[in-house]
Structure 1
Amino acid sequence: MKEYNKILVVINPTTDHQAALDRAIDLAAKNNAEITAFLSIFDFSYEMTSILSSHEREAMRQGVIDQRTEWLKNLIQQTNHSGLTINIEVIWHNRPFESVINYAISEHCDLIVKSTHNHDKLKAVIFTPTDWHLMRKAPMPVLLVKEHDWPVKGKILCAVNVAAEDENQQNLNGKIIQHAKGLAENFSAEIHLVNGYPGTPVNLAIELPDFDANAYNDNLRMQHEQRVQYLAETYDIPLNNCHVQEGLPEDVIPDLATSLDAELVILGTVGRTGFSAALIGNTAEHVIDSLSCDLLALKPDGFKSPLAE
């Protein structure tokens, strides 16, 4: 894992407690990194005021930006940031996720950090939250922070996908584990690997009278265990820290994270967009609401953000 040199923190304008900023400071202190506290604001009523001239509207917008900048300066002054450099960027933009990603790309940020909360499942299908947009479209890693400490000698859970043997997936698995090893070294944490495999398809047992469901299931589990153990041996992770369980990843990962009391889950996301994303989503999006700990989402090498095209 390369070191984080520039960390972009998405500020929550509705609260003085900034969990994402606290987490970014912890990470920056380990890497001597530079932090930018980023706030995107917008008020549609300022755009609808037809009696004002464009210069007057611009002055009103700038007034709001100045107020928020002062609020953010005071907030940072009250934070124990151990002498780290924390820059402030407040902009007026009607699509927060676009402003975050565009700024992160233009400033060559290595990591985006944002606090998160549970999403309303129905609304999330229709109105995709900023978190989901960031996971889908940001080319750099995205760390979504919840109210869970990162204790010394904690646990980092790497969600690996060994169902496919293609080179891209193998590279992504390696990227996930390498990130975990870098963080584990900084925070004296323990790395675990988790993999979920599908159960026996019911239709096969019904349509094929001679089909041995138990043998099929045992063989599938053995294949997944062997592949996960190979990953563990490659990256010098104890075999006792390998967890292969039957079930969907969005069920297996949160359950194991809870039982281990993990501080962080790291997984890969393919950046699905459009209609298929609205209906299906990504594993990361299904998992985040069920986790009580942080989630770090990584893109495959070579991923290009649709916003940069």
Structure 2
Amino acid sequence: MSTKNKILIVLDVYEDFRQGPDNFPIEIEKALKFITDKAQTQLILIGCGFEEYLHDSYSSFAKDEVDIRKQYVDKLEERLASVANKLAENGYKVESKIHWAYPRYEQIAQEAEDYDVDLVVQHVNGASQEDRHLLSQDSWQLVRKCKRPLLLIRDRAWPSHPVLMAAVDPMHSHHKPLQLDDKIMQTALNAKAELDGELHVVHACSAAAHPFTSPEKIVTKHQEALDAFMGNYDIPAGNVHLSEDKPITALVDYKKQLHADIIVMGVVSKSRLADTLVGNTAEKVVDYMKADVMVIRP
């Protein structure tokens, strides 16, 4: 049974849509895999357009520019509507909207709240190294702003039974709220069921980062906390992993070992400093791991 009643899909209306195996943009193809009942799930396709010289604040903005902007937006709406119409022909409930907005992540985050969506899907990867950095920065800003579960995807299609990897912190070493790990697990379990996938759970204890305590004691404490936490869930023992490395290193290593397709992780920030600290880990995960990332907030 699907837990996704509303899914907001962000499409890049400036570029040719990246086509998946079923000839829909890859963002849509992955979103559709969460749907078990077309009648119960609404899809909202969002595109954001903006050109500075066509904005109201531009110094030479006049009636000609107003007409040009309207033609420009009409063209973007036509592109998005063509995808929405194809989805409707396949029996999906769908609507599409183009926004004239910059920065676009603020508009997307607001739309997610206004529609009360269960999931936001956005592509994260650019074609070039420069584009990849810019898009990942845009996606990171969306991580900071979006309060809804956010799936950042790449071009690679999922296998028939994708591998999910949930990153938890039962010791709350990074000041995460107690309920965040449970939210991560519930989200990962729901996705596992919807995608008919395989779920692994990873916790990193950074044993070497505590110079005044023996690594053995640290590992023991973290193992006990992990065992106690996992006692609430029916996950095979062989699918629960404790790493002595730092979180980013552990995630990279286990992603390679498990061939993980989707990483489910939590972020929390209570100040600008926390934003920076969380960003260092989250941006590395988004930028350097060849996997899709589902971000959960408290």
TM-score over 0.5 for the alignment?
yes
Q: CA deviation at 1:276?
A: 5.5
Residue in 2 aligned with 1:27? Answer: 34
Q: Secondary structure at the match of 1:4?
A: coil
**Pair 1:11-2:18 in alignment:** no
How many residues align? The count is: 287
User: SS of the residue aligned with 2:157?
Assistant: coil
| Structure 1 segment 1-80 matched on structure 2, within 5 A | 3-13=3-13, 14-17=15-18, 18-29=25-36, 32-47=40-55, 50-53=59-62, 55-77=63-85
CA–CA distance in structure 2, aligned partners of residues 239 and 80 of structure 1: 43
Amino acid at match of 1:266: V
CA shift at 1:114, angstroms?
A: 0.3
User: Superposition pairs for residues 242-281 of structure 1, below 5 Å?
Assistant: 242-271=240-269, 274=272, 277-278=275-276, 281=279
For residues 271 and 151 of structure 2, the distance between their equivalents in structure 1, rounded to whole angstroms, comes to 19
Whole-Å Cα distance in 2 between the matches of residues 276 and 175 of structure 1?
A: 20
- Partner SS, residue 288 of structure 2: coil
Aligned-partner residue type, residue 221 of structure 1: V
- Which of structure 1's runs of 4+ aligned residues deviate more than 6 A? 118-121
- TM-aligned CA deviation for residue 283 of structure 1: 2.7
How far apart, CA to CA, are the structure 2 residues paired with 1:224 and 1:145?
31
Preserved CA contact (<8 Å) 1:160 1:195: yes
Counterpart Cα distance in 2 of 1:70 and 1:145: 24
1:84 aligns with 2:82: no
Deviates more, 1:150-159 or 1:237-246: 150-159
- The residue matched to 2:34 in structure 1 has which SS? helix
Contact kept? 1:136, 1:272, Cα under 8 Å: no
C-alpha contact 2:122 2:151 (8 A) present in aligned 1: yes
Unaligned runs of 5+ in 2: 19-24
What are the equivalent positions in structure 2 for 1:143-158 lying under 5 Å apart? 143-158=151-166
How far 1:244 sits from its partner (Å)?
0.5
In 2 relative to 1, CA 52–181 (structure 1 residues): closer, same or farther, beyond 3 Å? Answer: closer
Q: Which residue of structure 1 lines up, in the alignment, with residue 21 of structure 2? A: none
CA distance in 2, matches of 1:26, 1:127: 24
Tell me the distance in 1 between the aligned counterparts of 2:7 and 2:237.
33
Tell me, in whole angstroms, the C-alpha distance in 2 between the residues paired with 1:263 and 1:113: 15
In 2, Cα distance between the equivalents of 1:167 and 1:202?
Answer: 17
With 284-293 and 43-52 compared, the bigger mean Cα shift is at 43-52
Query: Tell me, what secondary structure is at the counterpart of 1:104?
Result: helix
Change (3 A) 1:238 1:279: closer
The SS at the match of 1:191 is: strand
The structure that has the greater radius of gyration is: 1
Normalized against structure 1, the TM-score is what? 0.82
What aligned pairs does 1:106-125 form with structure 2 within 5 A after superposition?
106-117=114-125
> Does the 8 Å contact 2:125/2:135 carry over to 1?
no
Tell me, what secondary structure is at the counterpart of 2:231? Answer: helix
- Please tell me whether residue 103 in structure 1 is matched to residue 106 in structure 2: no
Taking only aligned residues, the RMSD between alpha carbons, in angstroms, comes to 3.0
Instruction: Name the CA distance, whole Å, in 1 between partners of 2:259 and 2:153.
Output: 15
Please list, as runs of the form range in 1=range in 2, the aligned pairs for 1:116-135 lying within 5 A after superposition: 116-117=124-125, 129-135=137-143
Which residue in 2 is equivalent to 1:239? 237
The percent of aligned pairs where both chains have the same amino acid is: 22
User: What SS does structure 2 have at the residue aligned with 1:289?
Assistant: helix
Inter-partner Cα distance in structure 1 for 2:182 and 2:58: 53
Structure 1 gap ranges (5+): 205-212, 301-309
Q: Is the 8 A contact 1:7 1:28 kept in 2?
A: no
